[in-house]
Amino acid sequence: MIEQLLPAAVASDELFHDPPEAELLPEERAALGAVGRARQEEFTSVRHAARRALSALGLPPAPLVPGLRGAPSWPEAVVGSMTHCVGYRAAAVGLSSRVRTVGIDAEPHVALPFGVLDRIALPEERGQVAELAHLVPGVSWDRLLFSAKETVYKAWFPLTRTWLGFHDASITFDAAGGGFHARVLPTTGAPVGAPDCFKGRWLATRSLLITAIAVLEGD
């Protein structure tokens, strides 16, 4: 599924279960430390998916250790993103000569808990979610908004190494075409040259919402 949201220059891989053969490399095991079973499984499986995606780019297995603010450290000259939620793990990678940044996010396809939309959405986004919920009732637009914002952050952070809050970007969905546009608001104190907008894609299945952004070199 994730593949259809990404350009050909980005290699991706996804899993709907935790493969028994998935293993961590020693650096990853040390970085993970003692955690519960669910965290161990998602951390291990998503790295298995990431190594398969790296191999599709012709690259050897490499340790993918959490770095600054949790962002994964990719091999030199590689950009990428990972996501996991119940029943789904995915990774997307590209060569930095062709791809500036990637962000992906998956969420269970259920409405956000009460009160969360008010915390994460700008006023215009709340209006849009209400309108889309009326026009296209089969999609949890509030959760999709949350996912799109997390994807923006995952694409933004490796480029800027700065925080972006939920109110620092405004998302507009193209409901029919499966696209979205993110405008980074000028109040963020972003470094010079940071992107002021992103174009993304989304899809909804019965159980999952997935969003993705890929910025190609020269875009």
* Shortest distance (Å) from residue 175 CB to ligand COA: 19
Determine the residue type at 207: S
CA distance 112 to 147: 11
Nearer to ligand COA, 14 or 150 (CB): 150
* Shortest distance (Å) from residue 196 CB to ligand COA: 13
Nearer to ligand COA, 137 or 150 (CB): 150
| Helix, strand, coil abundance in the chain, percent, nearest 5 | 35, 30, 35
* Shortest distance (Å) from residue 143 CB to ligand COA: 11
Q: How many residues does the chain have?
A: 219
Nearer to ligand COA, 141 or 157 (CB): 157
Distance of CA 39 to the CA centre of its chain: 17
* Shortest distance (Å) from residue 203 CB to ligand COA: 15
Nearer to ligand COA, 34 or 176 (CB): 34
The two structure tokens encoding residue 59:
């690259």
Footprint on this chain of ligand COA (rule: CB under 6 A): 43, 46, 66, 69-72, 82-84, 105, 149-150, 152-154, 157-158, 164-166, 168-169
- Phi then psi for residue 132, to 5 deg, are -65, -35
Residue with nearest beta carbon to ligand COA: 70
CA distance 56 to 12: 8
